[in-house]
Copies of this chain bind each other. A is one copy, B any other.
């Protein structure tokens, strides 16, 4: 791959190769890069886990990471994203990981830019590396995607990872259902009650209520949302044997999920984070090796 921009831009075969390599890294494989590669992480929106995960993955495969403080850069002087990225390319970067509030910010970077772009979240667009780690987590659990029942619950309209996952999981043969208030279903069909989704789902994937995005939360308090759409202790008991709980985190404890369920037996929430490093090692390695 030259870039990783969205889940439409990667084939099922490319996904398979990434998941296979991630499993090798998890089993202890070391990366042998042929030269010193330079990578920078441009996070124009706050992040703990994605940024730290990439920072760790890049070092683990032996790349050199050049720090970039988005909140203290020349974008404050009005520099365009194109010029910032072209500057980093001129300085010698091989790849840049970017999170930016603008949907599909990368479109203005496709022409004239040679450095590889890894999308770590674009506006209300996609979040492909998170989607890949979710796929890895699901595949490790069930050994397949075909025929799995996967329910995504919450604010799909503002969720980059939901969009990436719906596209990828459906293409890989899973049945994806959505449950959320009408104002959050975006262009997708959705259930407005849990109905029998609890009893039939292999995976329940909760989304964060994004209070900071002025999400259309009208009509719901944290409590009433929890009651109607959250994964309560009662709902968890109705889940079928072997079914798992996922969440991209950070979690609003007591809103989309009962606090006591975050580390329950079904939960893969911190496992997802653990898996993320192996998957990102595979992604960055794949992209850097593709540059020769």
Contact surface of A with B, Cβ cutoff 8 Å: 38, 40, 43, 46-49, 52-53, 55-56, 59, 64, 66-80, 83-84, 86-92, 112, 208, 210-212, 249-253, 262-263, 270-271, 273-274, 276-277
B211–A78 touching, CB < 8 Å: yes
CB neighbours of A73 from chain B (8 A): 46-48
Partner of A74, one of B47, B64, B89: B47
CA distance A55 to B39 in the complex (A): 12
Output the nearest chain B residue to A255 by Cβ-Cβ distance: B78
Task: Determine the residue in chain B with the shortest Cβ distance to A72.
Answer: B46
Kindly state the separation between the CA atoms of A20 and B66 in the bound complex, as whole angstroms: 26
The verdict on A252 contacting B46 (CB below 8 Å), with A38-B56, A91-B56, A91-B273 known, is no
B residues in contact with A64, CB < 8 Å: 59
CB-CB nearest in chain B for A55: B66
CB distance from A33 to the nearest CB of B (A): 15
How many copies of this kind of chain does the complex include? Answer: 3
Other contacts beyond A40-B52, A79-B251: 5, CB < 8 A: A46-B72, A46-B73, A48-B75, A79-B249, A79-B250
Chain B residues in 8 Å Cβ range of A274: 90-92
Kindly list chain B residues whose C-beta atoms are within 8 Å of the C-beta of A38: 56
> Of B74, B79, B87, which one neighbours A270 at CB under 8 angstroms?
B87
B72 in contact with A43 (CB, 8 Å): yes
B67 near A253 with CB under 8 A, answer no
The answer to whether A277 touches B78, judged by C-beta atoms less than 8 angstroms apart, is: no
Q: In the complex, what distance in Å separates the CA atom of A154 from the CA atom of B90?
A: 24
